[in-house]
Structure 1
Amino acid sequence: MSEISSPRIVIVGAGPAGIRAAATLAEAGLHPMVIDEGNRAGGQIYRRPPAGFVRTPEQLYGSEAAKARALHALFDRLAEAGRLTYCARSSVIAVHEGRLHVLGEGGVQGIGYDRLILATGASDRVAPVPGWQNAGVYSLGAAQIALKAQGVALGRRIVLMGSGPLLTLVGAQLVKAGADVAAVLDTSPWRQQMRGFRGLAARPIVGLRGLALRARLGRRYHAGVRLERIEADASGATAVRWRDARGREHLTPCDMVGMGWHLRAETHLAELTGCAFIYDERWRQWLPRTDEMGRAGDGVYLAGDGVRLLGADGAEIAGRLAAAACLTDLGRPAPSVSADLHKLARLERFARGLACAFPWPAAMVRALPDVAIVCRCENVTAGAVREGADFGGGEANRVKSVSRAGMGRCQGRYCQLAAAEVVAAELGCTPDAVGRFRGQAPVRPVPVGAFLREG
């Protein structure tokens, strides 16, 4: 593994949090390195299409087009002026003793750092539904990436299921693009959604935009549904079987299913750096512990949805705060953060409203039939997870060893939360008592040849 010189500060991720962190450091006279898996900076929410793509930012990002343009232009100016080093199409696969192991086009390189800002974002939080292992079933994020990056819908007739703002947003984006969206199935009842209204009132304009998107879906949208099964044949998904809020059964034909229940913080790198974690009952997932500025200890700072699920606006603020904390700790002048901390508190109230209005479907997951697949990578059923709980004593990693849940390509990203719910139901405890799967390197699948090529 070859060595390359490193700047003092390395930022992982070039979404809103990473861009704002880099800009804050550059304005202070430092030269950060930004490592990102994408071809161009922007992250998932402001993902940029290939050159020559004909759709405008307004078509891609809707009401967020101005913010997307501003962030893209800011980062491009800094990179073109040589005020930062940008490593695109590069993935950090491990962290050990102050060094990042980075997979790029030339192989694996070792990059040292003095300070590390992790702006790794989040991925879809999915809940298993019988039949979700079949071809033609995608996450909402995958459907959105295909639409933004390539201008295509992943199916000819589409059913979306889950809960949260992303469900409505992706549905509205697909409808606007001309896709045939047969149904948008929300597991959160109207009454539950209204319970989060007080928190959602913290950002009334955003709330109104969400209602406008919901209106665009019209009769396609159904709240308070019970998902029963994704039907499939040898070619993939063929229909979704579900019940509406009144208990009436429906069978909606389709050839593509998109699913997601809000977001899951991407925390594997944070764990490898030694960050402490706490179980957040509101979001029903493990999140890294930081101070209000994003300090996580030992020269490590966290920003964005990888630590606080506050969306793009919150990520920008968190990026500035993490950079300011880094500057302060280095003994350098830092910008005032009082206004950002005040804004962040308002965004956190809004996020609490979202978590209340669109909850994780714990009861649905706990009631999965034994034959339902929980871990798609290893084809592990709910029954096998329950047996693992009985034999393994209920601790997450012992259940993992016995059942193989979480041992596949995704390393538990898609199954860990569901497996914890199944184990907790089997043993009569709470998910936090079950614990979480230990993260390990490499955090992404890596071809063996990458370690043999000189980076």
Structure 2
Amino acid sequence: MVEPRIIIVGAGPAGTRAAEACVAAGLRPTVIDEGRRDGGQIYRRQPDHFTRPYEKLYGTETERAREVHSAFDAIKDRIDYRPETLVWNIADRHVWTANGASQEALPFDALLLCTGATDRLMPVKGWHFAGAYSLGGSQVALKSQAVSIGHRVVFMGSGPLLYLVASQYVEAGAQVAAVLDTSPFSARVKAMPDLMAVPSVLWNGVKLTRALKRAGVLVQHGIVPLEIVGDAETGVSGIRYRDGGGKERQIACDAVAMGYHLRPETQLADLARCAFAFDVGTRQWLPERDGDGRASIAGVYLAGDGAKILGARSAEASGKLAALAALTDLGLPVDKGVMISLRGEVATYAKFARGLAKAFPWPVDQAAALPDDAILCRCEGVTAGDLRSVMRETGAKEANRAKAFSRVGMGRCQGRYCGLAAAEVIAAEAGIPVEQVGRLRGQAPVKPLTIAIGEDE
């Protein structure tokens, strides 16, 4: 019997557990990852010659990170591991990869997309100045380069990642000026019944907040961002906002890390022609999948935060579950009892995730109030006013039509950072529900390629 060709995209918690399940079944899957080392974003490993202890790097997630890393190390010689490799297209049952100037088309019988998540960003005036980073970007700088993004850093946005990265900076000895959360504390209280679904994770969040306050970090809830103060010459010099009581304040800083929870990396699912549906709770379009991770396209499976933001712990369970579903569909023996148990785990984390969406809501009103002169699309330099003017002149109310006229989302990130906010700006200007705006269509290559790729072929 010819061994089935299983490709796993992503070597984070979901991809690691998926690969582990395939190896346990006697198979040798191909694991493709953009990172230089495994671990994904949440458990990103430090470079080989760095020696910071796990406790300093991962904080409350230390043991989880160690376990995932150990699991990957244990199977590394039994998988076809391809680090620093970009999957830039999916077509005709092949994944197209690029590593430097080399490219390759790999056929698959089962494709497991464990692509993880990226920052969900809401623009604020001045966010294009040097010194303004996403939360994920600031975390990469700390983990991969052992540097702070500034001498005095403000963390702004909402969601668990806001507190996790801020605490990691404090633990590393960086000066954190403030943590400014747009969600009111009352939202967390209302979400408590769902958050209690995973008490240990909830407690970790409480400990992070307490640790920040003990370190003397200003922590404020229910704030409204007004402006990242700075200029093109010197970059960020401060941040202006309204506090929960409505009073305008300003904090001096030379760097801002911002993010509003996370959004799934769904571009590859889009290129694989998977069906999408609008998720009301998070106001995002997400790829459809069944309870075991099967997408609408046969042979394609979705797991981890690349399908829906349920957290790293859920990613481990859903990664293994999706692999077992793939093995089942390939006619290989699978322990059904294990699959039932994994479904229960994922359901528990899904309830917790619903609580997070309530506790740390996406700041919709911020999009409607974005000043006309604020940059909306940083890649193309398109302002909120530019987009609104295009809508008035052309009547464009659908995301891709508005993109064609305004260039919002046409840059190198293809709308990863501005697309969701742009949809909210369109919805507010047109007076329609955001789901009617639709979503930006993905196109290959999903990320820029070197011009030298394939020149020797």
Task: Report TM bin, short chain.
Answer: over 0.9
Q: What secondary structure is seen at the aligned counterpart in 1 of 2:212?
A: helix
- Alignment correspondent of 1:105: 100
Which of these residues, 70, 79, 101, is aligned with residue 73 of structure 1? 70
- Alignment correspondent of 1:13: 10
8 Å contact 1:309–1:351 — kept in the other structure? yes
Structure 2 unaligned regions, length at least 5: none
Cα distance between partner residues in 2 of 1:348 and 1:291: 14
Q: What secondary structure is seen at the aligned counterpart in 2 of 1:295?
A: coil
Structure 1 unaligned regions, length at least 5: none
- Alignment correspondent of 1:399: 402
Residues 194, 376 of structure 1: CA spacing in aligned structure 2 closer, same or farther, 3 A cutoff? same
- Write out aligned runs for 1:24-35 (5 A): 24-35=21-32
Cα distance between partner residues in 2 of 1:160 and 1:6: 49
Q: What secondary structure is seen at the aligned counterpart in 2 of 1:448?
A: coil
- Alignment correspondent of 2:354: 352
Cα distance between partner residues in 2 of 1:206 and 1:77: 27
Which of these residues, 414, 417, 442, is aligned with residue 417 of structure 2? 414
The aligned amino acid for 1:224 is G
- Alignment correspondent of 2:443: 440
* Superposed displacement of residue 393, structure 1: 2.8
* Superposed displacement of residue 71, structure 1: 1.6
8 Å contact 1:159–1:184 — kept in the other structure? yes
Which of these residues, 356, 378, 381, is aligned with residue 379 of structure 1? 381
Residues 89, 453 of structure 1: CA spacing in aligned structure 2 closer, same or farther, 3 A cutoff? farther
- Alignment correspondent of 1:141: 136
Aligned: 1:221 with 2:215: no
The aligned amino acid for 1:407 is M
Q: What secondary structure is seen at the aligned counterpart in 1 of 2:166?
A: helix
8 Å contact 2:100–2:450 — kept in the other structure? no
Cα distance between partner residues in 1 of 2:346 and 2:95: 30
Cα distance between partner residues in 2 of 1:369 and 1:7: 54
8 Å contact 1:187–1:223 — kept in the other structure? yes
Aligned: 1:310 with 2:310: yes
Which consecutive aligned stretches of 4+ in structure 1 deviate over 4 angstroms post-superposition? Answer: none
The aligned amino acid for 2:227 is R
- Superposed CA deviations along residues 18-38 of structure 1, whole A, max 9, x for unmatched, are 010011011011110000011
* Superposed displacement of residue 392, structure 1: 4.3
Q: What secondary structure is seen at the aligned counterpart in 2 of 1:449?
A: coil
* Superposed displacement of residue 389, structure 1: 2.5
Cα distance between partner residues in 1 of 2:206 and 2:261: 17
Aligned: 1:423 with 2:421: no
- Superposed CA deviations along residues 236-285 of structure 1, whole A, max 9, x for unmatched, are 00000111111111111111010000001100000000100011111111
Give the paired residue count.
Answer: 448
Q: What secondary structure is seen at the aligned counterpart in 2 of 1:337?
A: helix
Cα distance between partner residues in 2 of 1:93 and 1:348: 29
- Superposed CA deviations along residues 386-423 of structure 1, whole A, max 9, x for unmatched, are 12333143011000000000000100000010110010
* Superposed displacement of residue 56, structure 1: 0.8
Aligned: 1:258 with 2:257: yes
Which of these residues, 42, 45, 55, is aligned with residue 45 of structure 1? 42
TM-score (norm 1): 0.96
Which of these residues, 188, 196, 207, is aligned with residue 193 of structure 1? 188
Larger deviation: 142-151 or 129-138?
142-151
* Superposed displacement of residue 193, structure 1: 2.1
The aligned amino acid for 1:424 is A
Which of these residues, 40, 54, 65, is aligned with residue 51 of structure 2? 54
The aligned amino acid for 1:400 is K
- Alignment correspondent of 2:150: 155
- Superposed CA deviations along residues 320-347 of structure 1, whole A, max 9, x for unmatched, are 1110110110111113311111111111
TM-score (norm 2): 0.96
Cα distance between partner residues in 2 of 1:178 and 1:442: 39
* Superposed displacement of residue 195, structure 1: 1.5
Q: What secondary structure is seen at the aligned counterpart in 2 of 1:349?
A: helix
Cα distance between partner residues in 2 of 1:157 and 1:59: 19
8 Å contact 1:93–1:103 — kept in the other structure? yes
Cα distance between partner residues in 2 of 1:198 and 1:153: 36
Cα distance between partner residues in 2 of 1:250 and 1:436: 36
Cα distance between partner residues in 1 of 2:311 and 2:200: 15
